[in-house]
Amino acid sequence: MSMVTNKRIAYFDLLKLFAVLLVIVGHVISQYDDRGYGHPINVWIYSFHMPLFMFMSGLFFQNTLKKPFKEMVRSKSILLLLPLVSWSIINLIVNNLAVLPVSEWNKAVWQYLTSFGPLHGLWYLKCLFLYLVVCYLAVKFLRNEYLASASTVVLFLLLPNVNFSSQMIVFFWTGFFYNKISNAWPDAKGTQWLVLGGGIMMSFILLFLWKPDYSYLNGSKSFLEYILFVMMGVSSSIFWVTAFRWWFHDRETRWIRLCSNMGACSLGIYCSQEYFYSPNLWGRILTPYGNTAFYIFWSITILIICYSLVLVLQKYTYTSLFFLGIRRLKK
């Protein structure tokens, strides 16, 4: 079944829900547990969760290539850059201006802008927009997808690694080619082999070769470390995408529909979740219950809160546009 479609795919939205929940769990644990990113769950999460997001974005790049360049830039600017700017302004107000005297606001705004504050917390949106534009132009000018992928991967590897931009491009292209290859295989046999192969490689690397320093958070890597990072990200992405496709392709229940609807709101959840795990807000409540089970429970609670917020934002034209990148059609 091709993923190049304008219709929502239930199992893909379920996968996005799973991925954004991992983001929240990782942030909650890193904020409240003394081990931070060294917590065993975080070691696992940060070995693949953002490569998985980029892999999923690459799955639908074929749709993007069908659009005229101006239309593509306009639609992706609304979807990605507008929420990036809007949530960055909220972040500036909540985490900077609200805790400073008015006399220091000008200085705080200047420091925020010059330190690329709007690009750090939501770096995925910036990276994805950059990849879409550069890879689109590469395909159109070179007229060969393989040559375009190789040239853009080399280009980003040679550029400074700003907000992990040089590390994630390979997963974007892997997702693109995975979509082409997987659709050429019979669903049952091909899917099972992809799940098995991806799962075996992912487990082997994680158990015997992986170290916490190999995650994307550590920008400087040796060639071997980078290869292991790529292998882990690719094998994990193939495993999870194919497994969700296999497990949920023909299933339809009330809970699956609910979770699928939540996954369809993953961008808004991703953008808003940082305001609900802040130690400044919840430190007194969470610290006494600092165990893994409670972290996961609290992460699910944050997910539900953020989903509820997104539903409210969707109701109004301007909040839907500026914070979710959704244009409401005029009746």
Per the model's pLDDT, the better-predicted residue between 166 and 17 turns out to be 17
pLDDT at 214 (0 to 100): 55
Q: Which helix (H) or strand (E) holds 107?
A: helix 105-114
Q: Tokens representing 162?
A: 């700003």
- Mean per-residue pLDDT of the chain: 82
Q: Which of 109-113, 239-243, 306-310 has the least mean pLDDT?
A: 109-113
Burial of 220 (0-12, 13-18, 19+ CB in 10 A): exposed
Per-residue pLDDT tens digits for 27-61: 888 888 888 888 888 888 888 888 999 999 999 99
Q: Residue for token digits 């975080």?
A: 42
pLDDT greater than 70 at residue 208: no
- Output the CA–CA distances (angstroms, integers) from residue 322 to 68, 112, 147, 317, in the order listed: 23, 20, 36, 9
Per-residue pLDDT tens digits for 128-176: 999 999 999 999 999 999 999 999 999 988 887 655 667 789 999 999 9
Candidates 91, 57, 59, 89; CA nearest to 76 is 57
pLDDT at 277 (0 to 100): 78
Q: What are the structural domain ranges in the chain?
A: 10-324
- Collapsing DSSP to helix, strand or coil, 41 comes out as helix
Number of H helices, E strands in the chain: 18, 0
Task: Please compute the mean of the pLDDT values over residues 299-327 and round it to a whole number.
Answer: 94
- CA separation for the pair 168, 177 (Å, rounded): 15
- Of the pLDDT bands very low, low, confident and very high (cuts 50, 70, 90), residue 6 is very low
Per-residue pLDDT tens digits for 84-131: 989 988 887 877 776 677 777 777 777 777 665 555 568 899 899 999
- CA separation for the pair 83, 75 (Å, rounded): 12
Task: Please compute the mean of the pLDDT values over residues 172-188 and round it to a whole number.
Answer: 77
pLDDT at 276 (0 to 100): 83
How far, in whole angstroms, is CA 284 from its chain's centroid? 29
Task: Please compute the mean of the pLDDT values over residues 231-237 and round it to a whole number.
Answer: 86
- Of the pLDDT bands very low, low, confident and very high (cuts 50, 70, 90), residue 195 is low
pLDDT at 284 (0 to 100): 59
Task: Please compute the mean of the pLDDT values over residues 237-246 and round it to a whole number.
Answer: 85
The whole-model pTM stands at: 0.87
pLDDT at 116 (0 to 100): 58
- CA separation for the pair 251, 261 (Å, rounded): 15
Per-residue pLDDT tens digits for 261-307: 999 999 999 999 988 877 666 665 666 566 788 888 889 999 999 99
- CA separation for the pair 89, 6 (Å, rounded): 31
pLDDT at 1 (0 to 100): 44
